[in-house]
Amino acid sequence: MPLSQTEENYLKAVYKIAESDQGSVSTNAIAKMMSTSAASVTDMIKRLSEKGYVDYVKYYGVELTTLGKTAATILIRKHRLWETFLVSQLDFSWEEVHDIAEQLEHIQSKELIERLDKYLGFPKFDPHGDPIPNTEGKFTLRNQTILADMAIGEQGQVIAVKIHDTPFLQHLNQIGIQINTPLRIVSKQDYDQSTTVLVEDSEILLSHKVASQILLKKTS
């Protein structure tokens, strides 16, 4: 019994929430991420629990089983490979690909995804800098720092961004930030936690909200 698209999306949501927060995942968090009601989440989680994809304790929360983790990782592998295809082969830009990949990730064919991987040259990272899990679900870990956590004077190179929606990425395009952009922390404002960075000889002010979504590899 294969998973429905909806079931797959729930698993991915649980995976993503568990990735940032730790411990078990709350009904409300899932509802928020899926833009649906808490009642619907309870329904679905029960179903996924019966099928063995999650461990569920009423009023407490949800955790992925090994089975659920594998399913979620495969989905993420597919999503990131398709995003890579769209950008590297079809010349889409990084802010355009999320929604299309969201559909493509549900295509059911193991063979297809292996051939796509090969076709793309077994890429390790997608256009947003996220690691692409291999067939076994393992992916490359990198030494990365959140921009907002860096100290004045430190330098780094952008290696990934944590959110992928079009408006956010368009904003980054506008201020000249993309994957591999080198930058230096010029100053940090305490009162609103904003950060000023030097990008290509110009100083840019980043709100805390933005600065905490950008991941860097320190270069000094």
Give the DSSP letter of residue 159. Answer: E
C-alpha to C-alpha distances, 179 to 17, 125, 174, nearest whole angstrom: 24, 11, 14
- Cβ contact 159:129 at 8 Å: yes
**Is 122 exposed, middle or buried (CB count within 10 Å of its CB: 0-12, 13-18, 19+)?**
exposed
Q: Which residues pair with 55 in a beta bridge?
A: 63
Applying CB under 7 A, among 19, 28, 122, 187 the residue interacting with DNA is: 28
Q: Does position 115 bind a copy of itself by CB under 8 A?
A: yes
Binding at 38: pick from DNA, a copy of itself, none (beta carbon under 5-8 Å per type): DNA
Binding at 39: pick from a copy of itself, DNA, none (beta carbon under 5-8 Å per type): DNA
Applying CB under 7 A, among 6, 70, 93, 178 the residue interacting with DNA is: 6
- Cβ contact 145:156 at 8 Å: yes
Applying CB under 8 A, among 19, 50, 119, 142 the residue interacting with a copy of itself is: 119
Binding at 122: pick from DNA, a copy of itself, none (beta carbon under 5-8 Å per type): none
Q: Does position 122 bind a copy of itself by CB under 8 A?
A: no
Applying CB under 7 A, among 13, 18, 45, 211 the residue interacting with DNA is: 45
Binding at 7: pick from a copy of itself, DNA, none (beta carbon under 5-8 Å per type): DNA
Cα distance between residue 191 and residue 183, in whole Å: 23
Q: Kindly tell me which of 46 and 138 has the beta carbon lying closer to DNA.
A: 46
Side-chain half-sphere CA neighbours of 71 within 13 A: 26
| Residue linked to tokens 């509802």 | 31
Going by C-alpha positions, the residue among 128, 125, 218 that lies closest to residue 173 is 128
Q: Does position 112 bind a copy of itself by CB under 8 A?
A: yes
Q: Kindly tell me which of 5 and 219 has the beta carbon lying closer to DNA.
A: 5
CA dihedral 52, 139, 181, 192 (to 10 degrees): 40
Applying CB under 8 A, among 44, 86, 197, 216 the residue interacting with a copy of itself is: 86
Binding site for DNA (CB under 7 A): 4-7, 26-29, 35-47, 56, 58-59, 61
Binding site for a copy of itself (CB under 8 A): 86, 89-92, 96, 99-100, 103-104, 106-109, 111-112, 115-116, 119
